[in-house]
Amino acid sequence: MEVRSEYKRTELGIIPIDWGTSALFEVADCLDNVRVPLNEAQRRKMKGDVPYCGANGVLDFVNDFIIDDDIILMAEDGGYFDEYALRPIAYRMRGKCWVNNHAHILKAKPGHDQGFLFFSLVHKNILPYLASGTRAKLNKSEMRKIVVPAPPTEAEQRAIAAALSDVDELLGGLDRLIAKKRDLKLAAMRQLLTGQTRLPGFREEWKVRRLGEHATFLRNGVNPRAELLKEGKVKYLHYGDVHACKDVWLQPASLPCLPELKAASLERLQDGDLVLADASEDTVGVSKSVEVRGVGSSEVVAGLHTIAVRFDNSVLADGFKGYLQFCPTFATHLRRLAAGTKVYATNRAHIASVELCLPSIQEQTAIATVLSDMDAEISALEARRDKTSALKLAMMQELLTGKTRLV
């Protein structure tokens, strides 16, 4: 491909003619040797006041080294590289923090902008520099080989860093807003699902119901994912899909399919059916469930390690069933009965034995509407955050390669 006259080819690809490239340690100092060990008295005094940083970012406990500066941390080893694909794990810390010996500490040299260096490293493909072995490792000797772009002036570097920092601020603001909305939703669920707060117009006394007296359990499959197909007539709801679902309801359109012959004896799901995972790695996931929605003309069956239950609609309203998992009585009952060591299991008898104080169908519907509206607001914010994150990636590609110039 022909390169325009104002650009040139380099080991980093095509960059502006007036940009250069630099080895990492030409533009940054490695400060690994400046960690200051603290004695026991100092650790006790400072514990809880200073964030702890390691290869996996900012954690919530302390270690033996501390630094007070504007620094960049890069993960040295561990499974973090696999988790985040080809990108390095880089964090920028301003002010006092604890740093353990599984993170490299970097600081831009005079004449080079710290923010630009940080974003250059975040954007860098780190795979060629990792030492192989039991665990991937980024050695200091390999870091010397890392090459980063070098715009000719610090002013241009600062402009690029400022533009990307603005997007980071927007992302941070969205993260904080999403977290706040989630907290509000949790508080609303605690109040509404226990009757501590009643919605306007509802005063009828709640009634205790034994769920097994109003439930029909449906026959589920036992087929592992290896037997499933991408296309087919019968959608298959695996317990992994239950655990992975972020919502209280699930639409089957994106589910894999089970061959029709293997699905012949299985009962088909309908809108409003509740499907629980019968196995979880922790007690928190014991009550995890989804309410099926949007079945339409599709055929859907419950699969491996699931419990599918159809409740009497005069006792449990559609839209409300998915929130049962957040009812303290329901969740606590199943977790108390869950058996297992490494895997916690629940079963149909456990679910049938739940005794739950429930409002009228009308009040259930009203509660579900309020909570669903809150879910929709959170989903909209998450979608906005995802778009902003994609915009940031596009901006990094443009700005850190000089395709778009700011000065």
Give the pairing of strands 257-258 and 289-292: unpaired
Q: What is the mean pLDDT of residues 267-278?
A: 97
Mean pLDDT, the chain, as a whole number?
87
Residue 54 structure tokens? 């390691």
Give the pairing of strands 274-277 and 289-292: antiparallel
Amino acid 52: pLDDT? 52
Measured in Å, how far apart are the chain's first and last C-alpha atoms?
27
Amino acid 70: pLDDT? 79
The CA distance from 218 to 235, in Å, is 15
Amino acid 59: pLDDT? 40
> 160: helix, coil or strand?
helix
Amino acid 341: pLDDT? 73
Amino acid 84: pLDDT? 43
Amino acid 85: pLDDT? 38
Amino acid 252: pLDDT? 94
Q: What is the mean pLDDT of residues 166-177?
A: 95
The CA distance from 39 to 61, in Å, is 16
Question: pTM of the full predicted structure?
Answer: 0.81
Per DSSP, the chain holds a count of helices (H) and strands (E) of: 10, 23
Give the pairing of strands 52-54 and 57-59: antiparallel
Residue 402 structure tokens? 């000089």
Q: Is the pLDDT of residue 53 over 70?
A: no
Q: Is the pLDDT of residue 65 over 70?
A: no
Burial 266-300 (b: 16+ CB within 10 A, else e): bbbbeebbbbbbbbbeeeebbbbbbbbbebeeebb
The CA distance from 22 to 148, in Å, is 6
The CA distance from 36 to 158, in Å, is 30
What does the pLDDT look like over 274-302, one tens digit per residue?
999 999 999 889 999 999 999 999 999 99
Chain CA centroid to CA 225, Å? 23
Confidence of residue 133 (pLDDT cuts 50, 70, 90): low
Residue with tokens 């290869």: 55
Residue with tokens 């439930």: 215
The CA distance from 15 to 6, in Å, is 9
**Where do the H-state alpha helices sit in 59-153?**
80-83, 114-122, 140-143
Residue with tokens 């309203």: 317
> Any idea which of 97-101, 200-204, 321-325, 344-348 has the lowest mean pLDDT?
97-101
Residue of higher predicted confidence among 271 and 84: 271
Amino acid 178: pLDDT? 97
Residue 176 structure tokens? 């904080």
Amino acid 350: pLDDT? 97
Amino acid 142: pLDDT? 85
> Any idea which of 13-17, 156-160, 336-340 has the lowest mean pLDDT?
336-340
Residue of higher predicted confidence among 249 and 39: 249
Tally of CB atoms within 10 A around 187: 11
Q: Is the pLDDT of residue 81 over 70?
A: no
Amino acid 235: pLDDT? 97
In terms of Cβ atoms closer than 10 Å to its own Cβ (0-12, 13-18, 19+), residue 255 is: buried
Residue 296 structure tokens? 């339409």
Amino acid 64: pLDDT? 44
- Kindly write down the DSSP assignment for every residue of 268-317, as one continuous string: BP-TT-EEEESEESSGGGTT-EEEE---TT-EEEE-TTEEEEEE-TTTS-
Amino acid 33: pLDDT? 76
